[in-house]
Structure 1
Amino acid sequence: MKETDLRIVAVVPAYNEEERIGAVLKVLRQSTLLNDIVVVNDGSTDDTYNVALSESGVTVITLPRNMGKGAALVAGVRYAEADIVAFFDADLIGLTPHLVDALIEPVADGRADMTIGIFKGGRRRTDWAQTLAPFISGQRVIRSEHVLSIPGLEQARFGAEIAFARYAKAKGLKTELIPLPGMTHPMKEEKLGNFHGAISRAKMYWEIVKFLISSSKSASRIRRVLGRVEDRW
């Protein structure tokens, strides 16, 4: 990658991730391309704030209550005042500095308007979900001005990634999918328990279905999705 004067900042939205966020931040600190790291503590009720604050070189801002992922992303982008923002979930497993930089480079070099990281070879269920619908990944890099122009993002909770996908399609953004070998994250059922995790997952997938249906190519997309399901099962 060429030398650049672009300011590139990682934004990590976090809600009750005291057990996992420290490991993610340690990896982000090793990136050769990031100028700063901003954690947005989305009204956590555990020790997420203090764990994040204990990492040197990390800035932590706190929302007054749990406002959802979209609001956390927007708050982080506004605070960062960066040219390019790199979004990473706070519960990632298997993240490496190389993968961080691999996500950033295409946007920083001008080869892509947005990159999306896709889990590969981590866990079958998370790999399957992101192969089925890559736009649901929380790992992405994009210019800040795009983020602040996305309609409804600040109000989005489960649908934050859907808002990105709609905007990218409407604006014709050149998007590059970046494989993230060995990466995964805990399933919602593991974090929230079987009952609440299942409800959370159902809400997320409903947002995905609505996005597919709203697409002008929804019929062919759904056929492709069903084909992938058959292949995997």
Structure 2
Amino acid sequence: MTVAPDRVLVIVPAWNEHRSVGGTIREIHSADPNFHVAVIDDGSTDDTAQVARAAGATVLRLPFNLGVGGAMRTGFTYAQRHGYQRVIQVDADGQHNPVDIHRVLAGLEHADISIGARFSDVGDYAVKGPRRWAMLFLAGVISRVAKTKLTDVTSGFRAAGPRAIEQYVRYYPAEYLGDTIDSLVAACHAGLTVKQIPVAMRPRAHGTPSQGPIGASVYLLRSVFALSLALLRRARPLQPEALQEQNA
């Protein structure tokens, strides 16, 4: 199956999100009925797959939990095989507002990767303490790598054009923060360009994110370690023939 060049694939990684995934899919379709939604069921033990399918999504089931990186690489592979030229990630927990999908996708007119940024004077998303320090440090370092000012490099609300899809199929790490930090650094090293679009995030529809001073301190240490590993890796620049094969 080959899709129309302007068709958009919305990838929704989901792990035990049966309470929120259905509502997220319906919101995506409300934002644009032409969006094709692919839910990557990341080894869920609840009814995530059934709920997603009933809401109108294509469901790709992984046999066990791989994490967001493994789920997204599956989604990008699916996108490449079916000829999608634009892909965007929307989390199943309801934090990413589907109303903003078109705004984030518009960033692909000027770059290979478009990030929906939480800290760009839109909305009231706030992070304090060590977690905030980590985010500021990461943004400062990766801004220099990307050669553009970025304020939110850990946002998963991001879109990919043809070159980014090709890059992510080749390399999209599954380890901690690999889906955000490592994948972004590797893409920049491969010559891809990045742009950020201000968006407002929402609270999780269900569940409780990890909080507390201990968890925030651990996040700080792990994020710095993840960035260090990412900077040590050097991805090969994409070759023109690779893109020609993708678009053939």
TM-score for both structures, normalised by structure 2: 0.69
Deviation per residue, 1:157-179 (Å, 9 max, x gap): 44211122212321332211111
Which runs of 5 or more structure 2 residues have no equivalent in the other structure? 140-151, 232-248
Distance 1:206-1:153 versus aligned 2 partners, 3 A rule = farther
Report the Cα distance in structure 2 between the residues aligned to 1:122 and 1:35, rounded to whole angstroms.
Answer: 28
Q: 2 CA distance for matches of 1:115 and 1:130?
A: 21
Native 8 Å contact 1:130 1:137 kept in 2: no
TM-superposed CA distance for 1:198, in Å, is 5.8
1:178 to 175, 184, 197: 197
* Distance 1:49-1:206 versus aligned 2 partners, 3 A rule: farther
Aligned-partner SS, 2:69: helix
- Judging changes above 3 Å, is the alpha-carbon distance between structure 1 residues 93 and 211 closer, same or farther for their aligned structure 2 residues? closer
Q: 2:223 aligns with which of 192, 208, 214?
A: 208
Candidates 119, 144, 158, aligned match of 1:140: 158
Q: Residue type of the partner of 2:52?
A: A
2:33 paired with 1:14: no
**Where does the alignment leave 5 or more consecutive residues of structure 1 unmatched?**
217-233
1:144 deviation in Å? Answer: 4.8
Task: Please list the CA deviations of residues 189-227 of structure 1 after superposition, one character each: whole Å capped at 9, or x if unmatched.
Answer: 9246x68x965x6665444213554688xxxxxxxxxxx
Alpha carbons 1:13, 1:89 under 8 Å: kept? yes
Identify if the C-alpha distance between structure 1 residues 112 and 34 changes in structure 2 by more than 3 Å, giving closer, same or farther.
Answer: farther
Question: Greater relative contact order: 1 or 2 (C-alpha under 8 angstroms, separation 6 or more)?
Answer: 2
Q: Does the Cα contact within 8 Å between 1:33 and 1:101 map onto a contact in 2?
A: no
| Count of equivalent residues | 205
- State the match for 1:225 in structure 2: none
Over the matched positions of the two proteins, sequence identity in percent amounts to 25
User: C-alpha distance in 2, partners of 1:205/1:185?
Assistant: 22
Residue 72 of structure 2 is matched in structure 1 by 73
Q: What is the rounded CA distance, in whole Å, between the counterparts of 1:205 and 1:136 in structure 2?
A: 12
Given the superposition, is the C-alpha separation of residues 209 and 46 from structure 1 closer, same or farther in structure 2, using an over 3 Å criterion? same
Indicate conservation of the 8 Å contact 2:135/2:153, yes or no. Answer: no
Counterpart contact for 1:8–1:33, Cα < 8 Å: no
Contact 1:74/1:147 (<8 A) preserved: no
User: What do the CA deviations read for 1:143-163 (whole angstroms, capped 9, x no partner)?
Assistant: 255244346524334421112
Question: Runs of 4 or more off by more than 6 Å in structure 1?
Answer: none
User: Cα RMSD over matched residues?
Assistant: 3.4
Q: 1:90 aligns with which of 92, 105, 111?
A: 92
User: In structure 1, how many angstroms separate the alpha carbons of the residues matched to 2:127 and 2:207?
Assistant: 12
> Does structure 1 residue 124 correspond to structure 2 residue 143?
no
Change (3 A) 1:188 1:47: closer
